Chain A
Amino acid sequence: MKYLYYPGCSLEGTAMEYNVSTRAFMQAMGHELIELKEWTCCGASAAEATSRLLSLALPALNLAIAEKTEGAKDILVPCSACYLNLKKADEKIRKDPALLNKVNLILKEKNLRLQGKARVRHLLDVISQDIGAENIRTRVKKDFSGLRIAPYYGCQCLRPYPVFDDPEMPRSMEPLIEAAGASVHHWDMGGKCCGASHINTEPEAGLELVLSILREAEGADSIVTVCPMCQMNLEAYQKKISADYGKDLSVSVLYLPQFLGLAIGLSEKDLRLDMNLAVSGGFRNKLRGKRSEVRGQRQEVAMASAA
């Protein structure tokens, strides 16, 4: 299948490995991504905190670009914050023709016009619904049977629009993790909040929320995420949080397409595991699997990480 692709600002900077691994995984599963030309920032959490009109117009601008783009209808969005901004604009505009007119007055400045025809999809929606666990299972090349993975969904791909999962008790990642041969770390933190941009503006509250998640991840080999903001919050402050808490809470944190990509035989290099901030040596060894057919690749990976 073909998807329009909106990477968003984070995936060009602090979350490059999410971009690379999403593309690599989707390609390996036989799907084509058509990146929107001249996409712009969706407004992140900043537009919503400063201007209501811009918080709708910025995502709407990208919806309008998507409508003009040929080849596919569904817009695939890996970042949960971008996803919700685009989705929210779409939902509101569909229900409110007066708002659509207003937004179009703004888009005119860029010679764009929105009709309300595009369909916004989160990466996890596409992986769990369109691709599905069975499809992944048949392509698995590694033996991840010793791995225990904690699925972390965060907030904005689940709420307020329950599209592909239960907004309070999300489970959509579990069959995917099991299809990859690993076991699921069952916990209550999957849909809890990581504090989003609090880590910058209200660091004390933000760190407290991250602590509550890391504490419950104990026993897992890795957390997997589907949002650059969640990923950064969970991976970047482990040292400080462990020191303040008085206990080592470090744990590997991967993006979902990195983890699934490894399972189907893509290399650590293809998935840019070197860019993650929290991948432990022990976890890397476990990742390298035990099956004999992956030995050749194993050496290649070992060399790449030694280089």
Chain B
Amino acid sequence: MNQAEHKEKLSVHDALAPIREKIQACIQCGTCSGSCPNEFAMDMTPRHLWRLLLMGQAEDIFHSKTFMLCSACYYCTLRCPRGLPLTEAMGELKQIAARENLVPYNQSVRFYKSFMESVRRHGRVQEMEFMTLYFASMKSPFLPLRFAPLGLRLMSKGKVHLHIPLQNDPESLDAVFRKAEEMEKVRSEK
């Protein structure tokens, strides 16, 4: 293991601690798995994921796509007999994948980051810019083709616009984003 990988591993491990704390009371009943609409597409059930988290098995968690397949329907959170904030915990696992740019989650992480970049620049998302940023970050020549048919239909309805977004937009949220990043960094270094 090189040094960078080692460092990544450590920071992932530390970041898991607060999430583990949230689900400490899990009794492994499986209600969450049985309620999850995405379970059919997951390589590991939510109940199994919580078990790995309780045992601190970061490696297995971040080899699985389970948490990225959470669509935040909140069924598990609603039904968990221990009242655990499971959807939120799934979200926090996504945040680690985003922060560490973990390779298996590229497609989703870059999608969300491109969205946030557009919001950062203009305060509101600019659809065309967001998709352009996403395609550029994925560097896949075929990806835009998947989105093209819908994009054209939306354009013909006048729902997406080709205008070029402002540079140095006065509505930029750059300062807000920077402050939040700074505060999160302090927290994770502690």
- CA distance in complex: A277, B99 (Å): 37
Known: A54-B116, A201-B107. A40 touches B123 (CB 8 A): yes
Q: How many A residues touch B, CB cutoff 8 Å? A: 59
Q: Verify if B166 is at the interface (C-beta below 8 Å from A).
A: no
The majority secondary structure among interface residues of chain B is helix
Give the interface size class of chain B.
Answer: 35 or more
- Nearest-CB residue, chain B, relative to A50: B98
**B175 closest partner in A (C-beta):** A109
Known: A193-B37, A203-B146. A13 touches B127 (CB 8 A): yes
List A contacts of B177 (CB < 8 A): 54
Which residues of A have CB within 8 Å of B178?
109
Contacts of A197 in B (CB 8 A): 71, 111
Q: Which of A126-134, A144-152, A153-161, A217-225 contacts B (4 or more CB under 8 A)?
A: A153-161
Q: How far is the CB of A300 from chain B (nearest CB, A)?
A: 21
Taking CB atoms, residues of chain B closer than 8 Å to A53 are 180, 183-184
Kindly state whether residue B69 has any CB partner on chain A within 8 Å.
yes
A57 and B94 in contact (CB under 8 A), knowing A44-B115, A159-B78, A168-B78? no
Is A54 a contact of B180 with CB atoms below 8 Å? yes
- In whole angstroms, how far apart are the Cα atoms of A53 and B181 in the complex? 8
Q: With contacts A106-B183, A201-B111 known, is A43 near B176, CB below 8 A?
A: no
Residues B37 and A192 in contact, CB atoms below 8 Å apart: yes
Complex: how many Å from CA A115 to CA B73?
29
In the bound complex, how far is the Cα of B118 from the Cα of A38, in angstroms? Answer: 16
A1 in the interface, Cβ–Cβ < 8 Å?
Answer: no
Closest CB pairs A-B (n = 5): A159-B74, A193-B73, A205-B41, A109-B175, A46-B115
15 extra A-B contacts, CB within 8 A, seeds A48-B95, A159-B77: A16-B159, A38-B123, A44-B115, A47-B116, A48-B91, A49-B98, A51-B98, A58-B119, A106-B183, A109-B176, A156-B74, A160-B78, A198-B38, A205-B69, A277-B157
CB<8 Å pairs between A and B, sample of 29: A9-B125, A15-B159, A40-B171, A41-B119, A43-B119, A45-B112, A46-B111, A46-B112, A48-B91, A48-B94, A50-B113, A52-B91, A52-B92, A55-B91, A109-B178, A109-B179, A193-B37, A193-B71, A195-B37, A198-B38, A198-B71, A200-B147, A201-B107, A201-B108, A202-B108, A204-B41, A209-B38, A209-B71, A236-B150
